[in-house]
Structure 1
Amino acid sequence: MSEEARTIAKNTTYLTTALVIQKAIAFLFFLLIAKLLGDVGTGEYVGAFAFSSLFSIGVDIGLAQVLVREIARSPERTEKFYRTTLGMKLVLGVLVYGALMATIVSLNYFGIPHPGISVVAIAGIIMMADSLVLTGTSIFRGWQNLWFESIVIIVQKIGVLAVGVAALFLFPSAFNVSVAILVGSLFSYVLLGNYLSRRVGQPWRPSFSKTTAKFLLRLAVPFAIAGVFSTAYVQLDSVLLSILQGNSAVGLYSVAAKTMNAFAFIPAAFVAALYPALSSFYVSAPDLLKRTVDRALRYLLIIGVPIAVGIYLLADNFVQRLGVSYGPSAEAVRILVPSLIFVFLSFPLGSLLNATNRQHWQTAIIGVSLAVNVVCNLFWIPAYSYLGASAAWFVSNACYFILDAVFASRVVRISWSTMFVSAIRVGLAAVIMGYIVSASLPALPLFAIVGLAAICYGFVLVLTREITMNDVRFLLGLMRRPVGGNVQPLPPEGL
């Protein structure tokens, strides 16, 4: 294995491990918040961070991605790029923070529902701190050194969890939880800044070079547009729900949305391992590109369907553990969770478009899906509250997948007929698994039900030959394969 391949493999391992740990800690922390703050307090917390996340687009404006790329190309310009970016972000941060607070104060003046002003104020400071942290981590990514970023991610989440749990049990409120997260964000920046000061010189001192700023801003435009679409796509539903229905509706909706999003790291990690292979095959082996995409879709279908079915059937059991006030969330979970299948299948299709230099198609797809989401939310939230937001998310994700599928099919000839056969087999296995789950609910503990369901699901897939030893060998090879290194051809299907 080449030194470059070893570096990429180590970086992928570091970051993937850190992100999995981060997702797990974040989801557990959210469940604790939901249980101890109730639907109204949780809605205030989620709504405040949805507002700040939406405004955060104006602080970064795509500069993070530009830093990674340009520092990787010209490491000797790190200090100039970093300090100029820091100067721009400090100015933008103050302006955006002012706009955020002006928006909340205006909503309050006109009597429109919104999260608490004090919570939004803290969330806005976190927005600025996180943007500075993102600038620091972009330097490490440009240097192709992700171990320190991975450590910072894990340490920050553990610190937030410790301080946050103490705040929840001693002084439970959305404001105090937000302060705990602020402590973690500031600690992350101090940690990164101290390390960078030994590598870059004086990263704490921002500067402003008009020439450098123009250069970075010109390159950041396409990334900024993509960032606007993707951030709005994720956060706008909670913001609209907060304005149109209030904190309680946001709290009920957030339980369903966070539960679904907790599993998004699975396709993200899977595609992270495949992306360099897709890029390579596009240039050198079109047949392998098609075969890889076909397999990625089939494997993510096999993984996504049982997760969606399991959560759908266990929705009532799950939300009851958070408290009586969350009972209505079960219906939102049942509306949202089927879209998890669309999310899983969209990842490899979007990755294919990016790997084949068609990222502008992907940006347009996100934009169209965002428009569908906004229109549906504006019509359905006033009538159906959080259930309307759940339905809007389902429809927009279905739209996202359909558009991805249409445009990806213009790049490679995807075997949709084979996918249809796989969907029938997977559906049969999921139905049998679902019956086992439903029949076992009154008699067995949750962990036993999950284990039994997984065994039954896997047995049916093997019995119908949807999963073969060839698939097992491929997946084991994928886990061992250094991302970005030499990629071996895939064996034929069905062996």
Structure 2
Amino acid sequence: MNQTNQTIAKNASVLMASQLITWVLTLLLTLFLPRYLGAAAVGKLHFANSLWAIVTIAVTFGMDQLMVKEIARDAEKTAVTFSTSIIMRGLLYLVGFAAVVAYLRLLDYPTETVQIVYVIGLSQLFGLFIGAAQSALQGLEQMKYMSLATIAAKSIHTVIAISLLLLGYGVLAVAFVTVLAAGINLTIQIIYLRRLQPLRFSFDWRAGVAMLRAGSPYLFTYLFLVMYQQVDAIIISMLVNDTTLGWYSAADKLFGTFLFVPTVFMTAVFPTLSRMHKDEPDALPKLMRQSFNLLLLLSVPIGLGVIAIANPLMVLLFGAEFTQSGPVMAVLGLVLIFTYQNMLLGQFIISIDRQNAWTIVMVVATLATIPLDLLLVPFCVSQFGNGAIGGALAFVVTELGMVVAGLILLPKGTLNRSTAWYSVRVLLAGLAMGAVAWLLREQFILLPVLAGTAVYLISVIIFRVVGKQEWRMLQTVGAGIAQKFGKGKAAATAVGD
């Protein structure tokens, strides 16, 4: 393996290990926050994070991606590129902060909500600088330091936040912990960045304007992506109340943890697919079909299983106060099936140089989300007394629409009748599993989970869902994941030393 390939493999392994560790820490905090803070406080925290997610992506203005490219091409530009970006981010942050203040006053949010938004805003200021440091480290191909800082900050955040919750502190204290964690993350990254490249702060206004101009194409894509992910929370907070948003937040956070499966899948599979495609140029449709089939094989039992046990699952994890999160989680279980495929479709379409078409799909989905939320949230309040269900239903419509658009954008013949027949068999196996889990949903949650899993495995065998190609692919994926995690752990240990 040449030096370039070794660097890529090492960085991929470290990032994989970092992703696993931060996922576990995030899941742990996700389980504690709702149970100890309650629905209203969780809703306020979720609103603050969603609002600032949109503001910070606008403030970043596509500079992250631009910095990576510039520094990767010429490491000597690290200092001037980093310092120019830091100053531009700081100036744009002031504009963003003023917009947030005006928005909060216009809609007359409660005092505690405003305080939480301001505290989260301070952590996001650090986050903007962290983004610049991460981009510089990524351009220098030193992702291990970025991962180390992320793991250290996330660990401290999780430990201190859980400790404060156990001691009886409230949501404002938890919000301040995010500021501390962000400060630690930034400090670690700056220390390592200075070891790699001397940092001399200088600013050229013309260079700053040029950076914004060059970053604007990236801004457009990422702004719509973040808005698509966060606009539900903003609209729910406007139309209903913090408690309803808290119900939505608990389900949404848990939904996010289930996306670890396709994320790991994509990370492990696509390098293998790329190598196979290089050796067999005509094999791309076949490789896409295999990936589509395997993600369907994974997503259907997870999605339908979540639908069946959503109510007892949410009560078990978060307490009786989050009973209303159950229906929301059930709807998001259906969304999971579509989202898994969208992650694959989006990646594949981009890989065949049709990223502009996929960006248009994202824009349409984002624009459609707003009227859907405005229609479905009040409707679900009147029909079910739970507007959060409306936010989840809007997600169903947009994710399904993206699947349809993605399938249309695929080259002709990529998916065929065999794919359709495979999908039918997987769905039949999933429905059999879901029916059993649904019938046992009132029992201790482990019983429907185990029974449903057994039925799904038996159904998969009966319907001959997993053939030789699928088994071979599963073995390849498993080996890739094991290899990457193994290397990642070794690399993480080396960083720690």
% same residue: 23
Correspondent of 1:244 among 239, 242, 247: 239
How far has the Cα of 1:456 moved from its partner?
3.5
Q: Does the 8 A contact of 2:313 with 2:445 survive in 1? A: no
RMSD: 2.4
Q: How many angstroms apart in 1 are the aligned matches of 2:463 and 2:307?
A: 24
Q: For residue 113 of structure 2, what is the amino acid of its counterpart?
A: G
Q: How many angstroms apart in 2 are the aligned matches of 1:405 and 1:361?
A: 12
Q: Does the 8 A contact of 1:267 with 1:347 survive in 2? A: yes
What does residue 89 of structure 1 align with?
Answer: 89
What does residue 150 of structure 1 align with?
Answer: 147
Q: Does the 8 A contact of 1:48 with 1:115 survive in 2? A: no
Correspondent of 2:313 among 298, 318, 325: 318
What does residue 487 of structure 2 align with?
Answer: none
Q: For residue 125 of structure 1, what is the amino acid of its counterpart?
A: L
Q: Does the 8 A contact of 1:279 with 1:356 survive in 2? A: no
Q: How many angstroms apart in 2 are the aligned matches of 1:426 and 1:18?
A: 33
What does residue 453 of structure 1 align with?
Answer: 452
Residue by residue over 1:5-39, the C-alpha shift from the partner in whole angstroms, topping out at 9 and shown as x without a partner, is 23222211211221122122212212211111111
Taking the TM superposition and a 5 Å limit, the aligned residue runs for 1:143-182 are 143-182=140-179
What does residue 462 of structure 2 align with?
Answer: 463
What does residue 39 of structure 2 align with?
Answer: 39
What does residue 490 of structure 1 align with?
Answer: none
Residue by residue over 1:40-99, the C-alpha shift from the partner in whole angstroms, topping out at 9 and shown as x without a partner, is 111111111111112112221111111112222222211221111111111112221222
What does residue 493 of structure 1 align with?
Answer: none
C-alpha change, 1:61 and 1:115, in structure 2 (3 Å) is: farther
Residue by residue over 1:437-464, the C-alpha shift from the partner in whole angstroms, topping out at 9 and shown as x without a partner, is 3455555x54465345334423332332
Q: Does 2:346 align with 1:350?
A: yes
Correspondent of 2:402 among 400, 408, 411: 400
How far has the Cα of 1:319 moved from its partner?
1.7
Q: How many angstroms apart in 1 are the aligned matches of 2:132 and 2:25?
A: 23
Q: For residue 69 of structure 1, what is the amino acid of its counterpart?
A: K
Q: How many angstroms apart in 1 are the aligned matches of 2:67 and 2:412?
A: 32
Residue by residue over 1:356-415, the C-alpha shift from the partner in whole angstroms, topping out at 9 and shown as x without a partner, is 2221111111000111111101122233221211111111111111111111x2x35222
How far has the Cα of 1:119 moved from its partner?
0.2
Question: Where does the alignment leave 5 or more consecutive residues of structure 2 unmatched?
Answer: 381-386, 485-497
- TM-score relative to the length of structure 1: 0.90
C-alpha change, 1:417 and 1:34, in structure 2 (3 Å) is: same
Q: For residue 469 of structure 2, what is the amino acid of its counterpart?
A: N
Q: How many angstroms apart in 1 are the aligned matches of 2:84 and 2:150?
A: 24
Q: How many angstroms apart in 2 are the aligned matches of 1:195 and 1:181?
A: 21
What does residue 477 of structure 1 align with?
Answer: 476
Q: How many angstroms apart in 1 are the aligned matches of 2:364 and 2:5?
A: 37
Q: How many angstroms apart in 2 are the aligned matches of 1:453 and 1:2?
A: 47
C-alpha change, 1:434 and 1:114, in structure 2 (3 Å) is: farther
C-alpha change, 1:72 and 1:280, in structure 2 (3 Å) is: farther
Residue by residue over 1:186-224, the C-alpha shift from the partner in whole angstroms, topping out at 9 and shown as x without a partner, is 11001111111222223xx64322343244223211110
C-alpha change, 1:97 and 1:171, in structure 2 (3 Å) is: farther
What does residue 383 of structure 1 align with?
Answer: 379
Q: How many angstroms apart in 1 are the aligned matches of 2:111 and 2:353?
A: 41
Q: Does the 8 A contact of 1:380 with 1:388 survive in 2? A: yes
Q: Does the 8 A contact of 1:244 with 1:382 survive in 2? A: yes
Q: How many angstroms apart in 1 are the aligned matches of 2:368 and 2:329?
A: 20
Q: Does the 8 A contact of 2:425 with 2:463 survive in 1? A: yes
C-alpha change, 1:383 and 1:440, in structure 2 (3 Å) is: closer
> SS of 1:338's equivalent?
helix
What does residue 218 of structure 1 align with?
Answer: 213
* Greater Cα offset, 205-214 or 170-179: 205-214
Q: How many angstroms apart in 1 are the aligned matches of 2:391 and 2:289?
A: 32
Aligned length: 476
Q: How many angstroms apart in 2 are the aligned matches of 1:417 and 1:58?
A: 43
Q: For residue 7 of structure 1, what is the amino acid of its counterpart?
A: T
What does residue 131 of structure 1 align with?
Answer: 128
What does residue 367 of structure 1 align with?
Answer: 363
What does residue 194 of structure 2 align with?
Answer: 197
Q: Does 2:256 align with 1:261?
A: yes
Q: How many angstroms apart in 1 are the aligned matches of 2:468 and 2:425?
A: 17
Residue by residue over 1:323-380, the C-alpha shift from the partner in whole angstroms, topping out at 9 and shown as x without a partner, is 2221121111122220111100111111112112221111111000111111101122
How far has the Cα of 1:229 moved from its partner?
0.3
* Greater Cα offset, 232-241 or 17-26: 17-26
How far has the Cα of 1:175 moved from its partner?
1.0
Q: Does the 8 A contact of 1:275 with 1:351 survive in 2? A: no
C-alpha change, 1:308 and 1:115, in structure 2 (3 Å) is: farther
C-alpha change, 1:412 and 1:175, in structure 2 (3 Å) is: farther
Q: How many angstroms apart in 1 are the aligned matches of 2:449 and 2:21?
A: 21
